[in-house]
Amino acid sequence: MILSMTGYGKASAHYGDKKITAEIKSLNSKALDLSVRIANTYREKEMVLRTMISEHLLRGKIEFCLWIERDNVEQVAQLNIPLIQNYLEQFKEANKKFGIPLPENITEVVIKMPDAISRQDSTEELTEEEWQTALHVAEQAIEQLLVFRKREGEALEHNFLEKLANIESLMKSIEPYEKARTERIRQRLTDALSSIPEVEYDRGRLEQEMIFYIEKLDINEEKQRLAQHIEYFRETLASEYGQGKKLGFIAQEMGREINTTGSKSNQAEMQNIVVMMKDELEQIKEQVLNVL
């Protein structure tokens, strides 16, 4: 079973006159890249949330938000008068010292400055009961994201199995050209020597050289190793989640065998098949990047 690194989850609950909401999004990343934005009331619990998220999600670019909405709008926020006054004085000082013109809507500009409006929840004491409610909301959002990741992972797995089957089928389609090219190489060398009548050669030695040359172009080992890599890829898909990097390494090994097959394919039909195999593998490599 594999999981995708892409996911989304959201959950809410009410506590008193508050609506507590958690939202979490995940995209692919080589490591855990966690960004947390939470209401000031829960700031002291940030490390608890970070630890919980990292234990459940392991890897990915994660954005987590936890905020509060109040049923009583009048209690949501209040003006931070001292800070607003300080902002106004700084604007006037900049105008006086550097000639920077004051904005026509200076009041609107100042109100939008950081912390000009202070939320009431920033000064409230967090109770254990409220924290347990918020924690439960965060857990629900994470659970929803994991369900999303599992569903996306199933789609990825189906696609991987389809691409692997295509590569196997393409490799088998090379076999008829392998047999034909052996005779073609032998005939080409014989004809080349026959076209030079004054040259004498040892037929036994020629036969040995041809065998050596043909063996250098043999792709049976590459086919065997590629089949082993494909089987290992399937086994890894069926194992415990968290195998994204391992699948990437296996895909690289598959690429080596396909590339070697291409370098030994001195026939246009075989080379065309190798190109199609590379295309299937490239799609696998792109999608592996999104596997947890």
More confident residue, 109 or 118: 109
CA distance to 13, 240, 265, per residue, from 46 (Å): 19, 30, 59
**Is there a contact between 93 and 64 (Cβ–Cβ < 8 Å)?**
no
Q: Helix 268-288 and helix 244-264: axis angle, to 10°?
A: 170
Comparing 5 with 212, the larger pLDDT belongs to 5
Q: For the chain, what are the domain ranges?
A: 7-75+126-149, 81-114, 152-288
**pLDDT tens for each residue of 129-161:** 999 999 999 999 999 999 999 999 999 999 999
Tens digit of pLDDT for each residue in 233-269?
A: 999 998 877 788 999 999 999 999 999 988 887 778 8
Helix (H) or strand (E) run with residue 13 in it: strand 7-15
113 closest CA partner among 86, 148, 137: 86
pLDDT of amino acid 182? 66
Distance CA 23, CA 63 (A): 8
Weakest mean pLDDT among 112-116, 144-148, 187-191, 261-265: 187-191
| Pairwise pLDDT comparison (204 vs 60), residue with the higher score | 60
Highest CATH level, class, for 7-75+126-149? alpha beta
pLDDT of residue 210: 64
pTM: 0.70
Q: Is the pLDDT of residue 128 over 70?
A: yes
- Residue 124 has what DSSP assignment? S
Q: Higher pLDDT residue, 141 or 83?
A: 141
pLDDT at 111: 78
- Indicate whether 223 pLDDT > 70: yes
Better-predicted residue by pLDDT, 125 or 74: 125
